[in-house]
Amino acid sequence: MIEIKLEQLSGESKSGNIGKINVKIGDEIKTGDILLQVESQKGNVSVKSNASGIVEKIVIDEGDRINIGDVLFEIDGVQNEECTKKTGGFNYFNTLMKPQKKEIEVDITIIGAGPGGYVAAIYAAKQGKKVVVIEKEHVGGTCLNHGCIPTKALVRSSEIYRNIKKADSFGIFAENISVDMKKVINRKDKIKNQLKSGIEYLFEKHEIEKLDGNGKIVDENTVFVKANRTETTINTKDIIIATGSETSTVPIKGIDSKNVLTSKEALNMTSLPKKLVIVGGGVIGMEFAFIYESFGVEVFVVEYADEILASLDEDVCDEITEIAKENGIKLYTGSKVEAIDETENGESIVSFIKDGESKYISCDKVLVAVGRQPYFEGLGIEELGIEMHQNKKGIQINEKMQTNIPNIYAIGDVTNILQLAHVASHQGMVAVDNILGKVKNIDYSAVPSAIFTEPEIAVVGITEKIAREKGVEIEIGKFPMSANGKALTLGDAKGFVKIIKNKSTGKIIGSTIIGPHATDLLSSVTLCINNGLTTEQITETIFAHPTTSESIHEAALNVEGGAIHFAE
Ligand SMILES: Cc1cc2nc3c(=O)[nH]c(=O)nc-3n(C[C@H](O)[C@H](O)[C@H](O)COP(=O)(O)OP(=O)(O)OC[C@H]3O[C@@H](n4cnc5c(N)ncnc54)[C@H](O)[C@@H]3O)c2cc1C
């Protein structure tokens, strides 16, 4: 096995960020091939291969921070001089290094090891199934490597910084505080790696075989994986597709220019830009807006819709918009980005139209956060005739997670129903239950979602807006955090709890919480909705004092005749 390491960078640089990686596991490479780009403060370098062979392992990831001497790839092959000596050319691999062929028999083949795939694998293996998981990059998928967990690690660092900045209001004085983004990113990577090792340990413990490489479905009982000079044919009873999603782009002039980042790169910025324009004021865009604003970056959000976080109720949008503005985030809603141009001094100009007028913002980085689309490249689903949604925006499944081929299931972002990690995991368990013969239908009526702005926002069930659109007769109970003792002691008393009751049944059908720890608070309301509880049953429950959860009790009391600690 040959390790390809980072040998040098531009100028005196000792470390840099991984840019685009040009190869994937299983690729055959030759000496001199450009494997990847590394960006350092002194400029970009292309890392060339000093070996020929098959890429067996990709140790790094786009956006990672690396130092000279770090291992980048593991190659099954030979180092350059040796290669030329032995072979005199590159037909060597076609003759001597024929791929090994392997055939295995399993119960379930899972393609993709994100929160959909890896949870399904563990759940199935615990129930005695022989499972193989195919993963082309890293276990944990988008969620663990470039999504939920890395963003929340950054959210936490930004929260700490925000709290220290206002420490004097608590009677605590701190001087000369500053942010070291390298440490922020290192901390994030440590958490990510710890969780990745955890999944790998669980795979081992439950005897789940993991194959590195790209999975391709040949027919409903055969999956093929080519990697590590090994071509594996898997004979399988059932297949679960869990291949996730990829970043969407929009046809904006200059979208590929140097200063433009996706969320993946934004999670690895080891130095802070002075000015950041975020294109897209949805969940991902707004989480980054609050993170970078807290770190002292001047943040501009340009959003096409008339509101940021437009799927939320108007009162929630108004609250978070006001807080964002108070914090200094500049919001341009109802605005269409036309171009991102580079200037002579290396900055970018974002041009957009708002109310028919052209506007321009100069900045050093642009984060494009306009959504994600299902990923199924090379899976072979078109040849197999697997049906998609009408707009081709996701694999069509029924309530049991089955595609139109009954023993092929699809879960998670690739189905494009709700792009959330916990939905992917739950769908995975539903798919496995059906494979095991337990008839299970998924129910999406109590799916929580969490937005890690500052303060957090959490929504479950139906929103007020949707209930009214659908003509559902509802009653609303609201309670402001400013009337909650615990929120006041936290110094974080913005926001409110809103509970939506179905007037005819008395049952809780939705809730939105904006405020401190909203994302954790929401789980008790989720449990209520999932079990068909009424607001009256909440009022009869004793909530601990002093806790922010008392606001849920108060919001329910508000529906049932009036809150105790608040009068409108
Ligand atoms: C910045 C960001 C923040 C987010 N924050 C949150 C959050 O706070 N909460 C939340 O619920 N969700 C969040 N999400 C969304 C969440 O990450 C996804 O909903 C979730 O990861 C979907 O899981 P999945 O298993 O369907 O797919 P993924 O996690 O995308 O995993 C799919 C896996 O399949 C592999 N794969 C693809 N094709 C093949 C193939 N042919 N062969 C082998 N392997 C293959 C991929 O390499 C990948 O590892 C966030 C996303 C982003 C980008």
Q: What is the 3-state secondary structure (H, E, C) of 438-496?
A: CCCCCCCCCCEEEECCCCEEEEEECCHHHHHHCCCCEEEEEEEHHHCHHHHHHCCCCCE
Kindly give the distance from the C-alpha atom of residue 145 to the centroid of ligand 1, in angstroms, as a whole number.
Answer: 8
Catalytic residue, chosen from 138, 146, 545, 565, is: 545
What's the gap in Å between 114 CA and the centre of ligand 1?
A: 5
Residue 89, CA distances (Å) to 53, 56, 92, 273 in order: 12, 21, 6, 47
317, 334 Cβ separation under 8 angstroms = no
H or E element, residue 23: none
**Residue owning the nearest CA to atom 50 of ligand 1:** 147
Q: Are the C-beta atoms of residues 239 and 364 closer than 8 Å to each other?
A: no
Closest to 427 measured CA to CA, from 408, 437, 438, 441: 441
Closest ligand 1 atom to Cα of 379: 41
Residues 6+ apart with CB under 8 A from 434: 400, 401, 402, 409, 440
- Three-state DSSP class for 414? helix
Q: How sure is the predictor about 375, in pLDDT bands with cuts at 50, 70 and 90?
A: very high
Per-residue pLDDT, averaged over 19-41, amounts to 83
Report d(CA 130, CA 109) in Å as an integer.
9
What is the pLDDT at residue 89?
A: 42
Residue of the CA atom closest to atom 26 of ligand 1: 412
Please tell me the distance between residue 192's alpha carbon and the centre of ligand 1 in angstroms.
14
Q: What is the structure's pLDDT at 252?
A: 95
Positive or negative, the Cα torsion across 414, 419, 425, 427?
negative
117 Cα–ligand 1 center, Å: 10
Residue 99: CB partners within 8 Å, gap ≥ 6? 226, 229, 230, 231
Active site residue 565: no
How far does the centroid of ligand 1 lie from the alpha carbon of residue 425, in Å?
11
> Where does ligand 1 bind, in terms of residues with CB under 6 Å?
111-117, 134-137, 141-143, 146-148, 151, 214-215, 242-245, 263, 284, 375, 378-379, 412-413, 419-422, 424, 450
Over 70: is that where the pLDDT of 231 sits? yes
Nearest CA residue ID for atom 51, ligand 1:
147
Residues 168-192, mean pLDDT to the nearest whole number: 97
- The confidence score (pLDDT) of residue 67 equals 83
Distance 376 CA to ligand 1 centre (A): 12
Q: Which atom of ligand 1 is nearest to the CA of 117?
A: 25
Test site for ligand 1: of 109, 143, 191, 379, most ligand atoms within 8 A of the Cβ: 143
Least confident of 144-148, 225-229, 367-371: 225-229
Between the CA of 404 and the centroid of ligand 1 the distance, in Å, is: 23
pLDDT at 79: 74
CA 512 vs CA 42, 80, 486: distances in Å: 48, 60, 19
Global pTM value: 0.87
Q: Specify which residues 55 forms β-bridges with.
A: 75
Q: Which amino acid is at 113?
A: A
Lowest-pLDDT choice from 93-97, 138-142, 385-389, 491-495: 93-97
Average pLDDT, the chain: 93
**Angle CA(446)–CA(447)–CA(452) in degrees, nearest 5?**
135
- Helical spans, DSSP H, in 327-403: 381-384
**Which residue in 422, 113, 139, 435 sits closest to 243, CA to CA?**
113
3-state helix, strand, coil in the chain (%, to 5): 30, 30, 40
Q: Which protein residue has the closest C-alpha to ligand 1 atom 17? A: 143
Give Cβ neighbours of residue 109 (< 8 Å, ≥ 6 apart): 131, 132, 134, 215, 223, 234, 236, 238, 239, 240
- Decide which of 250 and 497 is more confident: 497
Closest-CA residue, ligand 1 atom 37, reads 243
Among 142, 228, 418, 419, the mutation site with the greatest number of ligand 1 atoms within 8 A of its Cβ is 142
